[in-house]
Amino acid sequence: MSLWTLTNPPVWKSDAVATSAGWADPDTGEVLVTIDGLSTFKTHAPLINVALDVTHAHRILQSDGSFLFSFLTGDVIPLVLTFGEEVQLSPYDITNNLSTVTVAIGSGSASFDYVSGQFSTKLVYHYTVLVGDTGAAGTVTPTAITHHIHTYIPGHPLNDETHYLVDTTLTGKIDPIFELVEVNPS
């Protein structure tokens, strides 16, 4: 275990503050660990929301006045991950088509592939509905982000995959619109 990181102060001085020179004692100002520009580093960009873009979905008016958003075979379903800060994907993941989000569709699952959003607060993924994909309303749910997403820090290349990793926990961050979606309705 590291004695300090970009996001955690030294273990021997847990109340140390991030300064432009590094971790410093909050009372004396003495620099305890030198990390040039520490206070300007963006060290985490939380995942705020996960939502389907239903702009091009088929809309079916329900008896209660609400709409059911449906996707049919051949339709592209856009999925948008929104973060609190600009993010970037690992170049290795992009080059090797490893940047995916797994989504449960009925009893099966689908891999949404990365499309755009590098160095922004929104990453966009697409899935094209195939014959045999089915899911009733309320069963389209993201289950896993299968790649590394990092906070974007201009001028600091991703040379260490463990630094600046973003918290991609999906729990509690799924847009309620997922309750109104079905795939290949009969």
Give the pLDDT band of residue 87 (cuts 50, 70, 90).
confident
Per-residue CA distances from 127 to 101, 132, 140, 149, 157 (Å): 10, 14, 12, 19, 29
Hey, where are the domains in the chain? 1-41, 47-183
- Report the percent of the chain where pLDDT is more than 90: 5
The per-residue pLDDT for range 32-48, each reduced to its tens digit, is: 887 765 655 544 567 77
Segment 71-95 shows an average pLDDT of 83
Residue 49 has pLDDT above 70, yes or no: yes
The per-residue pLDDT for range 92-150, each reduced to its tens digit, is: 777 777 788 888 776 677 888 999 998 888 999 999 988 887 777 666 677 777 767 77
Mean pLDDT for the chain overall: 75
Residue 177 has pLDDT above 60, yes or no: no
Q: Please tell me the distance from the alpha carbon of residue 122 to that of residue 116, in angstroms, as a whole number.
A: 8
